[in-house]
Amino acid sequence: METRFTKDHEWISVDGDVGTIGITAYAQEQLGDVVFVELPEVGRTIAKGGEAAVVESVKAAAEVYAPVSGEVVAVNAALPDNPGLVNTAPEGDGWFMKLRLAKPGELAGLMDRAAYGAFLKEQA
């Protein structure tokens, strides 16, 4: 599975035609301790760049945007009761949703891990 990244610090890891989406370690570090997560409804269709979820921390609230277009096929049911998973495992157990890709070609516009690392260095 290849993981791709957005300039808004979301990641997507694709297996077949389904992508698992979350926020990056960098994003959760900027937010601080996550205290609340609002997830989309299963069955909802989200366009690339559309608001997919909301994450709130002790410092701020932020939108999570869809890196690609698709239909929500699953959400991480553990997050509402345990939002701290976003801090402890942002690119693992702290995932937000799974989307069935509507336009797999949109993945080509996202960064691979090396490009994302270079992007973060530019932001510093």
Complete DSSP assignment for 50-94: SEEEEEEESS-EEEEE-SS-EEEEEE-TTTTT-TTHHHH-TTTTT
| Span 67-107, pLDDT tens digits | 999 999 999 999 999 999 999 999 999 999 999 999 999 99
C-alpha dihedral sign at 108, 90, 25, 31? positive
Span 47-73, mean pLDDT?
97
Which pLDDT score, from 0 to 100, does residue 56 have?
Answer: 97
Mean pLDDT of the chain: 96
- The structural domains of the chain, with segments of one domain joined by +, span 2-103
Q: What are the two backbone dihedrals, phi and then psi, of residue 96, each rounded to the nearest 5 degrees?
A: -100, -50
pLDDT band per the 50, 70, 90 thresholds, residue 124: confident
Q: pTM of the prediction?
A: 0.96
CATH of the structural domain 2-103, one choice from 3.40.50.970, 2.40.50.220, 1.10.8.420, 2.40.50.100 = 2.40.50.100
